[in-house]
Homo-oligomer: A and B are copies of this chain.
């Protein structure tokens, strides 16, 4: 197994290259430039990384999964672009850079988001036209659509919008996280598994792993956000706190939240041990996601 840092670096480079090749050419239209801007704005490429790592653990070659990985990142990026819009979370910043609508205007940000969502499915349909891949493609498209739709991300964003300023219960906070973040997180692993030809039992184990890891990831994200707020003086409090959005650490306290993340990581690890193949890469990746400091 390769060194994790090297693996992440190489995979990110492959993902970035494939993304840029899949997007409409720079300068071909304003929508194209808006799409490229938001995809290039980057981020950690966690979903495509999870997809590629899952496929690798199951023995698939990277080049047979890279398109699926790109589709996941496009769905993720579209959701950020639309969530940032003035009518939604009204955020002019995304990862320290101006958000898409702040640069290209609202109309172009709406259209470019729509275009990324559409392109994700176009890529999967092209992937499915390769020999013997149609059956995989329709299952992958289903995973993507279900994770992105009203039972997944869109429903989560709705709950999030409706929750502003309200006191949420722990159950409600977890429901929002499961739909906003967890659904596409799990889809990333499941799509990687499907592309690699996983059987039903492997798929179930990997789904459980993804579900547990996604929950832990969200808790750690909220923990880091709340710490950053306290530590970096002079910086406005985080967007979530400002809008009084409840998080699990805010409800349980930092210590209990961290304990919960630890427990979820241990459970996720246990799931991986049920696989016949060596899932060390996925375990290392989960560890990196959960025990990070930024």
Q: Which of B82, B118, B121, B135 contacts A154 (CB 8 A)?
A: B118
Given the complex, which residues of B lie within 8 Å of A129, measured CB to CB?
138-139, 142
The smallest beta-carbon distance between A21 and chain B, in angstroms, is 15
B134 touches A105 (CB 8 A): no
Question: Could you tell me which residues of chain A, from 62 to 101, have a CB within 8 Å of some CB in chain B?
Answer: 78, 82, 85, 87-88
Nearest chain B residue, comparing its CB with the CB of A143? B125
Nearest chain B residue, comparing its CB with the CB of A159? B29
Give the B-binding residues of A (Cβ under 8 A). 24, 28-32, 35, 78, 82, 85, 87-88, 105-108, 110-111, 113-115, 117-119, 121-122, 124-126, 128-129, 134-135, 137-139, 141-142, 144-146, 148-150, 154-155, 157-158, 161-162
Residue in A32, A139, A154 whose Cβ sees the most chain B Cβ within 10 Å: A154
A119 touches B145 (CB 8 A): yes
Q: Which of B111, B118, B126, B138 contacts A125 (CB 8 A)?
A: B138
B31 touches A150 (CB 8 A): yes
Complex CA–CA separation, A82 to B113 (angstroms): 11
Q: Which of B88, B106, B138, B144 contacts A128 (CB 8 A)?
A: B138
Residue in A113, A142, A144, A157 whose Cβ sees the most chain B Cβ within 10 Å: A142
A154 touches B87 (CB 8 A): no
Question: Can you list 22 A-B contacts (CB < 8 A)?
Answer: A24-B150, A29-B158, A31-B150, A85-B107, A85-B110, A87-B106, A88-B107, A114-B148, A115-B149, A115-B150, A118-B145, A119-B145, A121-B144, A121-B145, A122-B146, A124-B141, A125-B139, A125-B145, A126-B142, A128-B141, A129-B139, A134-B134
A115 touches B154 (CB 8 A): yes
Complex CA–CA separation, A137 to B161 (angstroms): 35
**Lowest 6 CB-CB distances: which A-B pairs, in order?**
A128-B138, A87-B106, A122-B145, A134-B134, A125-B142, A125-B141
Q: A113-B114, A114-B117, A124-B141 are in contact. List 4 more A-B contacts (CB 8 A).
A: A111-B154, A115-B154, A124-B138, A134-B137
